[in-house]
Structures are given as structure tokens and as C-alpha cells.
Chain A
Amino acid sequence: MSDQHSGVQVGRWARGLPAAFLVGWALLALAAPWLPLTPDAVDLPGILASPGPGSLLGNDDLGRPILDRLLVGARIAFVVSFGVVALSATIGVLVGGIGAFAGGWVDLLLVRLIDVFLAFPGILLAIALAGILGPGIDNLILALSATGWVGYARLTRAQILTLKERDHVLAARALGVGPGRILLRHLLPLALAPLIVEATFGIAGVVVAEAGLSFLGLGVQPPQASWGSMIREGVGYMLVAPHLVLAPGIAIALVVFAVNLLGDRLRDWLDVRQSE
């Protein structure tokens, strides 16, 4: 079963690469406020400057250093993706767990709610919600979490349904342990492995979604730098200064690639069956 998913085999030395890259991303993101970055510093003579010694990745259309903006964008991508995954996993686990554990009409109602949210294709609901809520990072997190919890809810529900008839749960119930405690202490720990895998892939999904919404102008607002808005601003200068679009795009692709590799490996390691 496990080798069914490990389509990508890499050398031993390369195995730690995605994890190392992601740790680097996290450290940069967390340290960004203390780094001497000047993402909004306008350098008029250096407008659209190519990468060079003065400015490692060149300057954008207002002469702002792309490297600095890239690092600030890394922080935003990090904060938004971990915020959204934490928030939506919490909501999803609660909804799915309560539904499966309570059963009856509560479960039926929650399943219908999940079905309705699943009926909105892909990022569509997040786009509409972010558009109506208005721009800003907090609204971005809200919009993406409002659509992101469904996957976790469905997964948790399926897990709890198969687990709740296990002997140790019956034993705990016979001993008079309350339902909340059974859910948290006896059921969720066993359902954790697939949730961790889902959350890992979720990080990649949110990084792309945040950049996508910011690309559409619905997320992070100028002058603040986000990978998506950097691509949006760079598109008009592609012929003269392709590095405006290339740099943030490569950053997104690398992070998503590393997270997906890590997710694949986690899934093999935890031996979780592909959920869909």
C-alpha cells in the first residue's frame, strides 16, 4: 500500500531538502520584522533595475527592492497559511467530530451543511467572500477558513465513525467518561494521522489561494507586498522586466512543491490511504 503513492523517489541526500527549505521559509517569515528590510523604499533612478550587486533580485516598477518584498511576502504567506489551516482544522474537527459522535439529526444536519459547502467549486466561494468582506489580511484568513474547514470536517467525521465502536471507547463509556473527553482523549488522537497529512497539503493549498486572491486584488492590499500582488503588479512590465513576475512565482512554486513533497512523504510514512 505504501509504495502505491511514493511515485517520486529521490536520493537519500535530497530527502531532507524539502523539510530544510520549509524550515528556512518559517525562520525567515518569523524573523522578517527584525531583519533590516526596506520593502517600501522607493529608489527612483533604479526603477525596474535588473538583478545586480546593488539589489540582488532587482527593483520593481516603483524602484522597490524585490528581494525585500519577497521576504515580506514570505511572512504574509506563512502567517496566512498557518492561520487558515489552524482555524479551518479546528472548525472542521469540531464539526466533523461532533457530527459523527452525536449521530442522529445533529449528524444529518452537519452532513447537509458540509454537502452545501462542497457544492461550491474550488476557490470560488473564497473569491466571492473575500470580495464582499473587502480586502485585508484578516478578511483573507476569514474567507479562506470559511471555505477550508469542510475537508477537515469530512475527514474527521469519516475517521470518528469507524473509530467510535472500538472496544476502548466502549470501555471508556462504561467507566462513565463524558462525551467531550472521549472525543478529545480517546478518539481524536487516533484520527490524527490523516488530519496531519490533510493539513500539510492544506498549507500548499492556502499559499496558492492567498497568492491567487491577492493576484485578483482581493487579498493583501498595496503597498504591502504579497507574492500574488507582486505578480499582479509585475504583469504589465513583463517584456522589459520579467524578473518582477519570475521571482515571486518561483517562490510560490518552490514552497508549494516542497510542501507537497513533504505531504507525500508524510502520507507514506503514516501509511494513510489517499482520502479522495
Chain B
Amino acid sequence: MFSLLLTRLVSALVVVLGVCTLVFLLIHLVPGDPVEAMLGENAQLADREALRQALGLDRPLGQQYLEYLQRLARLDLGLSFQDRRPVAAILGERLPATLELTLAALALALTLALPLGVLAARHRGSPLDTGAMSLSLVGISIPNFWLGPLLILVFSLWLGWTPVSGREGPASLILPALTLGTGMAAILARMVRGSILEVLGEDYVRTARAKGLSERRVLWGHALRNAWLPILTLIGLQLGGLLGGAVITETVFAWPGVGSLLVEAIQSRDYPVVQACVLLVSLSYVLVNTLTDLVYSWVDPRIHWRS
């Protein structure tokens, strides 16, 4: 168990280092001069050199990389070009909104997808299954930058039930969470159905049926309990789609989270903020998936034996 934990942690650390490196290279590998991009083509040579020096861009790449890693280790994300404040402080202000939105969307997705997927698998081939899976395919096909404006049109503009955008009061969370959550529910429902069907083909399900258990006990007591782990992993992986989708959803609803901060920072060419947003979101994704991985191997005894 301990060696397994260690291997997982080491490989997670390697990935974290890789992510940090790629985010560093993101700015440096891009064709063109970031300083010129920031100041515009008409800037004075002296101004350019001053900025280049202030950013450390005049030093060799290797040295810049080491300094970047050292600063990251101290959780120093640098200063924002735009308002000259520490990037970490700006991120701290935006993080709660994103957490709130993703958690609400995740909860909504689970309450929709779990029953839908389980029932569809239980009644495979029935009209219920066909209906649920058609619905999920429709859900997958509707992009959230279209669903969001449609929901605004119906619920905010026509019915006047919810605020159009922003983050004021619990009512403002409804539409963004619906936009983000239903899309994930559509994908998750299909995956839950697949996992349950896979489990339903196992020997222990046949045994449970053979010893005369009711179909309900077989499904909820035997099949679902064993399908939980793959479903947990799927949720962890789908979180990526959720976090990526949050960038667009937050922009649609002017939700003041990390996603809309990223888009604002890209538009104002505020590179330290862009870097920090990408780092924060990716690293939390790595963290969550490492955790689900560990939970998986902790709960499922077969994995201990294999290691």
C-alpha cells in the first residue's frame, strides 16, 4: 500500500512539474516578442528594454526557468501587468466564485446523471433507455455558450425569474449552474450506463441472480456498489470538461470566477495572470484525479494485490 502511494505521488509530482514547465514555455515558445505584444509596435526602444529587464526576459532561458520555479515554490505568482497587484491576491478573490459554480454544477450533474444512467442500464433497449440516451445525446450536442444565452433569454428576459448575469444572491447561481451542469450530466449519464452494463455482465451478478435475489437487490446492492469506483474515476476525469467549460460559462454570465479572469487577462495581454489561471486550474485537476486514483486503490482491495 505504501509503495503504491509513493509511486502515485511521484508520478503526480512529475506531472505537476511538467505542467509548470509547459505553462512557462507557453509564453516563451510563442512566436513574436511578448514585450512588443504588451507595449504595441510603436513603443520606444528604451521602454521596451526597461520592461524586458523588469520581467527578466533579457536573461538566459534556463535561468528564467529556475527563477520561475523558485518563485512558484514560494507561491509567488508575480505582479499583474494590469493593476500592479500580486496575482495570488487576484486569484484568491476569484476562486470562491468558481468553486461555488463548479460544485453546484457537479451536484446538479450527479443528481441528473446517476438515476438516468442506472435506469437506462436496468431497462436496456426499452423506450426509457432510448429516451434517456437520446436526451443525453441532445444535451451533448448543445454547446454551453449557446445554452447559456438561451436560458438568459427565457428565464431572465422573458420570465424575469433570474438575474441576467453577475453574482448577486443565490438566484444568480441558477442559470450558470444549469448551463454547466446539464452538459456534464448528459455525458456522465452515458458513462454511468456503460459502467453499470459492464458490471451487470460479471459473474457475481449472475451468482446473485442465481441465488434468487430480486432484480432490485441485484442492481442496487451488487451492481451499483461495484460500479461506483469506475464512476468515481469518470467523475474525476469529467471534472476537466467542467473546469474548461467553466471558462466559457463564466464569460457568458459575467460570473466573477477564475475562468472569466483568464479571458479578461488574455484580452488585456496580462501574461502573469494568464499563466497563474492556467496553472491553478490544471493543478487542481491533477490534485483531484490523484485523489480519486488513491481512493480507488484504497477502496478496491484487488488493486493492493496487484501492486
Which of A128, A212, A218 has the most chain B CB atoms closer than 10 A to its own CB?
Answer: A128
| Closest chain A residue, CB of each to CB of B277 | A128
Chain A, interface size: which category?
35 or more
Interface residues of B (CB under 8 A from A): 11, 14-16, 18-19, 21-22, 26-27, 30-32, 37, 120, 124-125, 129-130, 132-134, 136-138, 140-143, 145-146, 149-150, 152-153, 157, 190-191, 193-194, 197-198, 234, 237, 239-245, 247-248, 251-252, 262-263, 266-267, 271, 274, 277-278, 281-282, 285-286
Contacting residues, chain B, for A211 (C-beta < 8 A) = 143, 145
Cβ contact of B19, chosen from A7, A119, A133, A232, cutoff 8 A: A119
Q: How far is the CB of A136 from chain B (nearest CB, A)?
A: 12
Q: Is the CB of A257 within 8 A of B157?
A: no
Cβ contact of B27, chosen from A4, A132, A204, A276, cutoff 8 A: A132
Cα distance, A177 to B201, chains bound together (Å): 42
Q: How far is the CB of A175 from chain B (nearest CB, A)?
A: 37
Task: Describe A's contact surface by its main secondary structure.
Answer: helix
Cα distance, A133 to B34, chains bound together (Å): 10
| Closest chain B residue, CB of each to CB of A264 | B137
Q: Is the CB of B11 within 8 A of A127?
A: no
| Closest chain B residue, CB of each to CB of A204 | B141
Q: Is the CB of A245 within 8 A of B149?
A: yes
Q: Is the CB of A133 within 8 A of B30?
A: yes
Contacting residues, chain B, for A206 (C-beta < 8 A) = none
For window 221-276 of chain A, which residues contact chain B by CB distance below 8 Å? 228, 231-232, 234-235, 238-239, 242, 245, 248-249, 252-254, 256-257, 260-261, 264, 274, 276
Contacting residues, chain B, for A3 (C-beta < 8 A) = 124-125
Q: Is the CB of B15 within 8 A of A218?
A: no
Q: Is the CB of A215 within 8 A of B145?
A: yes
| Closest chain B residue, CB of each to CB of A276 | B237
Q: How far is the CB of B266 from chain A (nearest CB, A)?
A: 3
